Chain A
Amino acid sequence: MAGFLERILGPRVPPDEANAGRVRYLIPTALFVVAAVLLVTSIFLPYWRLTLNAPQYPKGLTIHAYLNRLEGDVSEIDGLNHYIGMRPLGEAAQFERSISIVGVAAVSLLILAAVVVHTRWVVLLTLPALLFPAVFLLDLQFWMANFGRNLDPTAPLSSSVKPFVPPVLFEGKIAQFSTWAMPESGLWLALAASVLIAAGLYFHRRAYKPLVDAQQGTA
């Protein structure tokens, strides 16, 4: 068991080596820690917004998607959606939203754990965070397609608005509304965290691969 753990954690940095190349070992650690902090911060920020513009809404209608909730003109948009037979937005992604906070916190902890792992196992630990923005957008796209395609055929406007898939980013058009979807600060932070992790993995390899190779050589 101890041996297994040791294999995963990999070689420790020799003290004289650590002093000589402090920056070399500090860079991946710093990048991972900052990435974890960014990801945790993003929990409190909106991830995505959708703005609907139509003549009778001069200020537009906007919803902000947080990891665990929707804010903004949700009830107004739900009210309008009932004309085309779309389900209330609150019914979307209920499972994802219920685990999102704990999930992102756990993913952030995995990044922190990666700091002490000096082998290629580090990739496995950071992969969830690295892919998180993409997963978020894919899940969003899944739910938008699910909602847009499953319209109540008995809704008043079902003859003029056919099932559709609204784009998860940028411009779209539904009835008299033009829609504009964009990532918001939370998703940008998560994306930045991904970039930092990618950079961290690069520097991690540069720093620790020689040590791992050396260890395997001696072994």
Chain B
Amino acid sequence: MKPALKRTLMIGLLALLLAGLIAGCNRGRRDETPEPVSAEGDLPANALQIAAERGLTPDDINAALKTFMPSGQWDEYLMFASGGHSGNMMVIGIPSMRILKHIAVFTPEAWQGYGFGARDIEEMLDAGNVNGVKIRMGDTHHPALSETEGDYDGQYVFINDKASARVAVIDLRDFETKQIVKDPNIISNHGSTFVTPNTEYVVQGAQYATPLGWEYAPIEEYEEKYRGLITLWKFNRETGRIVPEESFSIEAPPYWQDLCDAGKLVSDGWAFCNSFNTEMATGGIEDGNPPIEAGASQRDMDYLHIFNWQRAEAAVKAGKAEMINGMAVLRMPVAVEEGVLYLAPEPKSPHGADVTPDGKYIVVSGKLDPHVTIYAFDKIEQAIAGGNWELDPFGVPVLNYDAVKHAQIELGLGPLHSIFDDQGFGYTSLFLDSAVAKWKVGDEDPESWQMVEKLPVQYNIGHLTAAEGDTVSPDGKYVVVLNKWSVDRFAPVGPLLPQNIQLVDISDGNFKVIYDMAMGIGEPHNAQIIKTDKINAWTAYPEVGWDPIKQEKSEYATLPGEERIERNGNTVEIFMTSVRSHFTPERVRVKKGDHVIWHITNIETAHDATHGFQLGGHNISLSLEPGETVTFELDVSNDGTYAYYCTEFCSALHLEMMGYLLVEP
């Protein structure tokens, strides 16, 4: 009996083992992938021949190998670049430099269904209207990724519209714009967006001064009535919205407060904005006055604005702010009284003010001065504590330059912006030299701050950015330079040229341009580069019937079987679904003069099963991502026969995915 027991158990075990094997062997049923090249180098026989035929140098081959992204592989980094006066934002993969997405922000984009009927989006865009004027353009400059403890967290990205002093919030779960806010007291906000280390606030400098309260005042009364403004937009991470009611501004002299950076680590709680035109030039070439460009460049020094946003916040909460156009404004004397605002001289019409990753130093690029000037945060604190200042004509303390200036490095002509790597180097764009300067980030010894080398770039470099290069922990590896002119770099496409965006390899002592990317859809002023795996984007909306603006299930969600057309007087409400390859209903009958409220739910849940919707003759274009519900409204003022159809090639029967809107006379 014992042997029999054993035998049976063995058979049983074998059966289970076999079962396991069969179950296991079907897991990897995919096509075999080719082996990567081994270190010994088994390159295809014709590799050298191809290189020779194309005239590639060893550096070119190196660059190609470092940037080529094999089919199906993902870029290690994502770059969020402003789209300049396209009013939008670009997402670009690094190192491949492929454009992955064009995010509509301030300007309508038909293919994204942005600004062509979708009701929630129209309402959001209308929140950015100015004095009742419908604004459907913008000039985006400086994207800011949300941060936690000074590091990108991949949740949100902010961007400004310089032209109308607006700020937008983009949610990185679906890479779509969720909110636009307008600063009621200014008309330009070039100096934004920059976030504080935990995204408590989005910092904004006004640039072009306007009369306080943004009203009319003669330009001759510039010094008396015009004022600069620094705004701190309060951000609520839970709701994903800026809260204007909890935001506030700090009144500043009518110098043009420009690019800012928030302090971090030791300097957390402070922020730094440079300024230019402390000459307070207002131009008037036509009246025989010096042009602004000359008038604003007379003095050797402008002022770095140093302000404590935590003290400002406390003062506002203590009721010390004045409400102007619905916005809390900390007036200048109060700001000075509360120790919120200080100035420090900075060489000539500077451009960037960038805080080093350790938060100890602020690097100001001279623009019209060939240096970067480094301010030590501890010296600023000492100067403030020691009262080492004089007052400017507006009663704002100007710290003693020699007391706060820590070091200066002569880099070349036209230094604009600085960014950092993980090896203790800073990189500064040199606009006039068309070059990037690499320099050693020093320490307490001012002599330790040293120029290292320069790399020519093509041409007229503006901003530059590096992998997580403005956080507390830069990644190094890549610098991207955003050149204003491309001149001869690309095949001719008429007199309006693309920008030339160049990827620079800074890994392991390298310092070489390895890619030229033509940016033909907008001028990226600044950009930020985040590790791809920090972003957790949705592949489809979490539930069928999703309202992407509210980020919750829509009250108009329509599920299969619930499609209907309801008439209430002259109002017709349509509840429609879309799925490959039909809209339901396919015949919509209304009468001339009806008001139509039209809800469409894309009931798809599959990855990439987006449907589009355009209605001819009515300026309606929607994008229905999987799960999304969109509403638009329509006054049908002309009778006739109209076709609506799917604009995304969704399936083999995409062309058949249409319906008729029949407007009876």
Contacts and interface: CB of A to CB of B under 8 A. Distances in A.
Interface stretch (A97-105, A190-198, A208-216): A190-198
Given A76-B605, A76-B606, A83-B653, A195 B15 contact: yes
B8 A24 contact: no
Contacts of A157: 652
B37 interface: no
Interface string A32-57: 00000000000000000001010001
Contacts of A75: 605
Interface in B1-18: 1, 4-5, 8, 11-12, 15-16
A206 interface: yes
A192 B23 CA distance: 14
A53 B1 contact: no
Interface string B15-34: 11001001100100100000
A180 B653 contact: no
Secondary structure of the B contact surface, majority rule:
loop
A156 B19 contact: no
Given A24-B1, A156-B653, A199 B8 contact: yes
Contacts of B181: none
B404 to A, nearest CB: 57
Contact of A188 (B1, B19, B581, B656): B19
B437 interface: no
B91 interface: no
A199 B580 contact: no
Contacts of B1: 24, 206
Contacts, number: 52
B407 interface: no
Interface string A138-159: 0000000000000000001100
Given A191-B19, A199-B8, A206-B1, A79 B26 contact: no
A3 to B, nearest CB: 32
A30 B608 CA distance: 53
A136 to B, nearest CB: 15
B29 A180 contact: yes
B8 A202 contact: yes
Contacts of B363: none
A183 interface: yes
A195 B12 contact: yes
A109 interface: no
Given A79-B579, A83-B653, A199-B8, A180 B606 contact: no
A59 B539 CA distance: 13
Contact of B12 (A27, A183, A196): A196
Contacts of A206: 1, 4
Contacts of A199: 8, 12
Interface residues of B, number: 24
A175 to B, nearest CB: 10
B10 to A, nearest CB: 11
Contacts of B656: 156
Contacts of A59: 607
Interface in A161-210: 180, 182-184, 188, 191-192, 195-196, 199, 202-203, 206
Contacts of B5: 27, 203
Contact of A192 (B8, B16, B579, B653): B16
Contacts of B607: 59
B13 to A, nearest CB: 10
A114 B5 CA distance: 20
B580 A79 contact: yes
Interface string B533-544: 000000000000
Interface in B303-354: none
Nearest to B656: A156
Contacts of A191: 15, 19
Nearest to B31: A53
Nearest to A187: B19
A53 B29 CA distance: 10
A189 to B, nearest CB: 10
A58 to B, nearest CB: 8
Interface string A61-90: 000000000000101100100010000000
A182 B26 contact: yes
A83 B651 CA distance: 10
Contacts of B19: 183, 188, 191-192
23 contacts: A24-B1, A57-B606, A73-B606, A76-B605, A79-B579, A79-B580, A83-B651, A83-B653, A156-B581, A156-B656, A180-B29, A182-B26, A183-B23, A188-B23, A191-B15, A191-B19, A192-B12, A192-B16, A195-B12, A199-B12, A202-B4, A203-B5, A206-B1
Given A195-B15, A199-B8, 15 more contacts: A27-B5, A73-B606, A76-B606, A79-B579, A83-B651, A83-B652, A156-B581, A182-B22, A188-B19, A191-B19, A192-B16, A195-B11, A203-B5, A206-B1, A206-B4
- CB-based closest 5 A-B pairs: A199-B8, A76-B606, A195-B12, A188-B19, A182-B26
Interface of B: 1, 4-5, 8, 11-12, 15-16, 19, 22-23, 26, 29, 579-581, 604-607, 651-653, 656
